[in-house]
Structure 1
Amino acid sequence: MPSNLTLYNSLTRRKESFKPLVEGHVGLYVCGPTVYNPVHLGNCRTFVSFDIIYRYLMAKGYRVRYVRNITDVGHLTDDGEDRMSKGARLEQLEPMEVAQKFSNQFHDMMRTFNALPPSIEPRATGHIIEQIEMVREILKNGYAYEVNGSVYFDVEAYNNANDDRYGELSGRRIDELMAESRELKAQDEKRNPSDFAIWMRASDDHILRWDSPWGPGFPGWHLECSAMSTKYLGEQFDIHGGGNDLKFPHHENEIAQNVGACHHGGARYWLHTNMLLMNGKKMSKSDGNTITPEQLFSGESKHVSEGYSPMVIRFFMLQTHYRSTMDLSDEALQAAKKGYGRLMDAWQSLSELEAGGSAQNGTVGKELMAGLEAAYAEMDDDFNTPKAVARIFELVTRINALKGGQLSLDEVSADTLASFKERLGTLLFDVLGLRDEAAGAGAEQEALDKVMQIVLDLRQQARADKDWALSDKLRDALSAAGITVKDGKDGASWSI
């Protein structure tokens, strides 16, 4: 399958032409959430970005296997406590209750933002066997050592055998890594401060623990992604993605583990999203510079003047390239609200246009198709959504001019108009993942009107039959649902 898609590879630090390992197929792995607390807005930005990448790859005709994991063990806090165990302690629940609760919340949020589900969503706790086997292979190949029931990856041995490869993704030097190494529990067991645990001994009171050849314990956070990406995508696959904050140590350690176990580094292309700021500053709970997705929807925050719909927020996200820092502000959201409304209005106008009947395109028809091709070309350039959106708004100007009569539909053939509508719709809704909220709300209201008319007709028939019990039951049930029924000389009406 010929492709003119280029993407920025974090591993080589340059744009490269995308060539999948298997023609027509793409293996995509994205690091998913650690489900010990509600998903935050920065996570949403990352997953929306990869949703667009997933959608565009499919729109180009690739069969994509998209794997996005759920981390429910092994991700430690700075003081060495497992995040799932900490979440269970704070919530006074079993760890798997915590995992299920916040997995459900995460999935609800992804649906709210109209993000497609992945092809496979594996959990770390469901792949303990694969992780133990990977530890065995790393030990067998001489890249790890066991101490008191814990197994550590030997970074120095890895570097000696692989031309100082550790740090190739993040650009960190080994002496820098040693200086920056965190002081975690059992740090004195390591041969070098830069070594990292791939299997950790569990204390007697540790909740999440499994038997292993090295004693009761649990896998390291970095290990799970190496094991699951290998299982579902192979020892080599196409694209690995995640937030820029995962580049080191998580992704760096993934590469080392994959080489240590399989002699391959896993993904050939590494894609990273940048961070989300608010009002020009890093989000921070300590200084109050933060907002949750729910607060953004409701407007119940000092940082916004009103609530914003999920599609306005998604449209706002489209206006920053996934590799660039995104700055959230009320002013920017206001602009996104206006832009999204203008775009959906233009789409509605386009759907109402009919070609003037000319068999041949004039200048206008050619400009429409050329502008559309330019928008797709921007997506081919490392999924450049802000430039693609800018190209789309150039088309919005032409659509509005066609509606207003400043441009003539006689210069657009019927076939061209039909093709333009189809391909622009694909770009807006299938690739960028937008929804026409006004149209959706109208359809929902129409459906509700029809259902309510049926209910009112049933109630009216019950009254005609003097079946007062059924009539009152229907009225009371509607009242309990927040719907008021008023009887008048012209019949019954309802309101919410």
Structure 2
Amino acid sequence: MQLYEQQKLRVHNSLTGKKELFVPLNPGYIGMYVCGPTVYSNVHLGNCRTFMSFDMIFRYFKHLGYKVRYVRNITDAGHLVDDAEDGEDKIAKKARLEQLEPMEVVQRYTVDFHNILEKFNFLPPSIEPTATGHIIEQIEIIKVIIEKGYAYEINGSVYFDVVKFNKTNDYGKLSGRKLEDMIANTRELAAQDEKRSPQDFALWKKAEPAHIMRWPSPWGDGFPGWHLECTAMSTKYLGETFDIHGGGMDLKFPHHECEIAQAEASNGKSPVQYWLHTNMLTLNGKKMAKSTGNSILPGEIFSGDNEILSKAFSPSMVRFFMMQAHYTSILDISNDALLASEKGFNKLMEAINTVDSLAEGKQTQFDVHAWKQSCYDAMNDDFNTPILIAKLFDAVKHINLIKEGKESITADDKTVLKETIQAFVFDVLGLENKTNSAADTEKLSGTVELLIQLRKNARENKDFATSDSIRDQLAALGIQLKDGKEGTTFSL
């Protein structure tokens, strides 16, 4: 029997606004599509949080024994600046500014994207298709939508007829918007004159003479609309209806709303069973924005080369920090929050490293099997990683008590404890227990011993301010000093 047959998982479905029992279309198999990056710049931390959340979900499904086809696309065409219906393609704009071929821009930032995700210990998706690799499929879907009367061609561009679609369908059901309200609140813009309604969105855009990225189509040279690519790729690899579609909350409208409309117009079926959306990441309590300087890239966190944080933080520690918040809640990143999280991360890894050396007894005070199920209960409640981490620290407390001889554990329970904590920490949360090399450890030990000696000298000279400062600053870095009869020792 597979684990998924024993564990009942509930997920928050954005389409219904409710937490629902997760039942895949095909028992034992899951199809999941997540909107990937538009590769015109270095991947930012907010995007990393979204992809990390779905990497964790992917990992948990695999842990439960499901066979998962996880599709995460690369947007390398069609995404216009400011998510608008008119204007310049984000990649083409970057290519023009840097005097590069658009595919040079795509290659550079796709490589950056993969490098950052590898540092964060992501599992690769099953399929990573590109928009430019599926132009034919997008053109074929447009033909079907036109044939069914839900799209129209004008001046070489093709638009989706939202008003007509809404007469027999519910446009806005994912985002909770009403078309009547959207129309009432829309100002007429000159650039929208060729559309029948301002709410209509582009399936295909005519390429003006200066437009670099262009493909032939039945309507003339042009390029596909941003929303269409995800419909084409998700249905090609997962079918007309599949289990999960994910992305950031900022994609609910218009992107995901338009995906639903395109799929329903072309094949008459609701494309997705469960819509999952991640929330945003803020920095020091404010929205991240390059324009205000309130912004930081993942690589800048890893290197410490920034003016926002006091030190560098490892990718695995940053991942642990992000897992301490539920994927649907806003998470604020700050220097103090990362420092506090680092202490917890080190404490967790230290406990894991201790399990093998725990002395075995004839009885166990800690109910390991109930604790194990509580870890599953947390994950089964819409992938509640903060609760899971709290349960892991329950185990850490008992590991330390056993180490100190205040509790005991049987050999069998010790095996269950070790296997469970490693499964959830490494396989599900995707953390890594990377230890320093012997040379690095020796250098660190020598440095701390030097500081201990300086602190000792300060105390002997009754310079208690310096003595306390050394102790407190080492503690802030996660290095604890312990004064004893035979001198001062330290632990990381």
Q: Do they fold alike, i.e. is TM over 0.5?
A: yes
Residue 296 of structure 1: how far off its partner (Å) = 1.2
Residue 289 of structure 1: how far off its partner (Å) = 1.2
Corresponding residue number in structure 1 for 2:412 = 415
Residue 185 of structure 1: how far off its partner (Å) = 7.7
Cα 1:254–1:57, aligned 2, differ >3 Å: closer, same or farther?
A: same
Corresponding residue number in structure 2 for 1:427 = 424
C-alpha separation in 2, matches of 1:443 and 1:61:
38
TM-score (structure 1 length as normaliser)? 0.85
State which of 305, 309, 312 in structure 2 corresponds to 1:304: 309
Q: Any idea what the Cα deviations from partners look like across 1:39-64, whole Å, max 9, x if unmatched? A: 00100111111100000011111000
Are 1:198 and 2:195 an aligned pair?
no
Cα 1:178–1:59, aligned 2, differ >3 Å: closer, same or farther?
A: same
Secondary structure at 2:204's aligned position in 1? strand
Residue 180 of structure 1: how far off its partner (Å) = 5.7
Residue 405 of structure 1: how far off its partner (Å) = 0.6
C-alpha separation in 1, matches of 2:190 and 2:254:
17
Secondary structure at 2:292's aligned position in 1? coil
Residue 267 of structure 1: how far off its partner (Å) = 1.0
Mind listing any 5+ residue stretches in structure 1 that lack a counterpart? 447-496
State which of 279, 285, 288 in structure 1 corresponds to 2:284: 279
AA aligned opposite 1:427: F
C-alpha separation in 2, matches of 1:342 and 1:182:
56
AA aligned opposite 2:277: H
Residue 291 of structure 1: how far off its partner (Å) = 1.1
C-alpha separation in 2, matches of 1:318 and 1:437:
18
Corresponding residue number in structure 1 for 2:393 = 393
Corresponding residue number in structure 2 for 1:5 = 9
Secondary structure at 2:236's aligned position in 1? helix
Corresponding residue number in structure 1 for 2:251 = 246
AA aligned opposite 1:29: Y
Residue 369 of structure 1: how far off its partner (Å) = 2.3
Corresponding residue number in structure 1 for 2:474 = none
Residue 179 of structure 1: how far off its partner (Å) = 5.2
Corresponding residue number in structure 2 for 1:54 = 58
C-alpha separation in 2, matches of 1:91 and 1:378:
48
Secondary structure at 2:269's aligned position in 1? coil
Are 1:118 and 2:122 an aligned pair?
no
C-alpha separation in 1, matches of 2:403 and 2:190:
68
Secondary structure at 2:32's aligned position in 1? strand
Residue 396 of structure 1: how far off its partner (Å) = 0.4
Are 1:384 and 2:380 an aligned pair?
no
Q: Is the 8 A contact 2:365 2:408 kept in 1?
A: no
Percent identical residues: 56
How many aligned positions are there?
A: 434
Residue 294 of structure 1: how far off its partner (Å) = 1.6
TM-score (structure 2 length as normaliser)? 0.86
Q: Any idea what the Cα deviations from partners look like across 1:132-187, whole Å, max 9, x if unmatched? A: 0000111111111110111100011111122xx00000011113333565877841
Residue 355 of structure 1: how far off its partner (Å) = 2.8
Cα 1:382–1:142, aligned 2, differ >3 Å: closer, same or farther?
A: same
Residue 74 of structure 1: how far off its partner (Å) = 0.3
| Worse-matched range after superposition: 345-354 or 275-284 | 345-354
C-alpha separation in 2, matches of 1:175 and 1:81:
29
Corresponding residue number in structure 2 for 1:211 = 216
Are 1:171 and 2:168 an aligned pair?
no
Are 1:106 and 2:110 an aligned pair?
no
Secondary structure at 1:231's aligned position in 2? helix
Secondary structure at 1:198's aligned position in 2? strand
C-alpha separation in 2, matches of 1:269 and 1:334:
36
Corresponding residue number in structure 2 for 1:453 = none
Q: Any idea what the Cα deviations from partners look like across 1:75-109, whole Å, max 9, x if unmatched? A: 00136110110111122210111101100000000
Corresponding residue number in structure 2 for 1:363 = 365
Residue 362 of structure 1: how far off its partner (Å) = 3.8
Residue 225 of structure 1: how far off its partner (Å) = 0.1
Corresponding residue number in structure 2 for 1:35 = 39
Corresponding residue number in structure 2 for 1:137 = 144
Mind listing any 5+ residue stretches in structure 2 that lack a counterpart? 442-492
State which of 143, 149, 162 in structure 2 corresponds to 1:155: 162
Secondary structure at 2:291's aligned position in 1? coil
Residue 303 of structure 1: how far off its partner (Å) = 1.5
AA aligned opposite 2:197: N
Cα 1:445–1:281, aligned 2, differ >3 Å: closer, same or farther?
A: closer
Corresponding residue number in structure 2 for 1:481 = none
Q: Is the 8 A contact 2:12 2:276 kept in 1?
A: yes
Residue 376 of structure 1: how far off its partner (Å) = 1.6
C-alpha separation in 2, matches of 1:305 and 1:317:
19
| Worse-matched range after superposition: 71-80 or 3-12 | 71-80
Residue 292 of structure 1: how far off its partner (Å) = 1.3
State which of 268, 290, 298 in structure 1 corresponds to 2:295: 290
C-alpha separation in 1, matches of 2:140 and 2:11:
33
Q: Is the 8 A contact 2:91 2:105 kept in 1?
A: yes
| Worse-matched range after superposition: 314-323 or 289-298 | 289-298
Cα 1:26–1:224, aligned 2, differ >3 Å: closer, same or farther?
A: same
AA aligned opposite 2:32: L
C-alpha separation in 2, matches of 1:305 and 1:196:
46
C-alpha separation in 2, matches of 1:36 and 1:120:
21
State which of 59, 82, 85 in structure 1 corresponds to 2:92: 85
| Worse-matched range after superposition: 369-378 or 267-276 | 369-378
Q: Is the 8 A contact 1:372 1:392 kept in 2?
A: no
C-alpha separation in 2, matches of 1:302 and 1:212:
49
C-alpha separation in 2, matches of 1:301 and 1:136:
50
C-alpha separation in 2, matches of 1:419 and 1:158:
55
Corresponding residue number in structure 2 for 1:372 = 372
AA aligned opposite 1:385: T
Are 1:330 and 2:335 an aligned pair?
yes
Residue 301 of structure 1: how far off its partner (Å) = 2.1
Q: Is the 8 A contact 2:116 2:299 kept in 1?
A: no
C-alpha separation in 1, matches of 2:415 and 2:268:
51
Secondary structure at 1:28's aligned position in 2? strand
Are 1:75 and 2:82 an aligned pair?
no
Secondary structure at 1:379's aligned position in 2? helix
C-alpha separation in 2, matches of 1:12 and 1:233:
22
Residue 354 of structure 1: how far off its partner (Å) = 4.8
AA aligned opposite 2:57: I
Corresponding residue number in structure 2 for 1:457 = none
C-alpha separation in 2, matches of 1:46 and 1:220:
23
C-alpha separation in 1, matches of 2:157 and 2:392:
55
Corresponding residue number in structure 1 for 2:483 = none
Cα 1:156–1:229, aligned 2, differ >3 Å: closer, same or farther?
A: same
Q: Displaced runs of 4+ in structure 1, greater than 4 A? A: 179-186, 443-446
Cα 1:178–1:332, aligned 2, differ >3 Å: closer, same or farther?
A: same
C-alpha separation in 1, matches of 2:358 and 2:405:
11
Corresponding residue number in structure 1 for 2:135 = 128
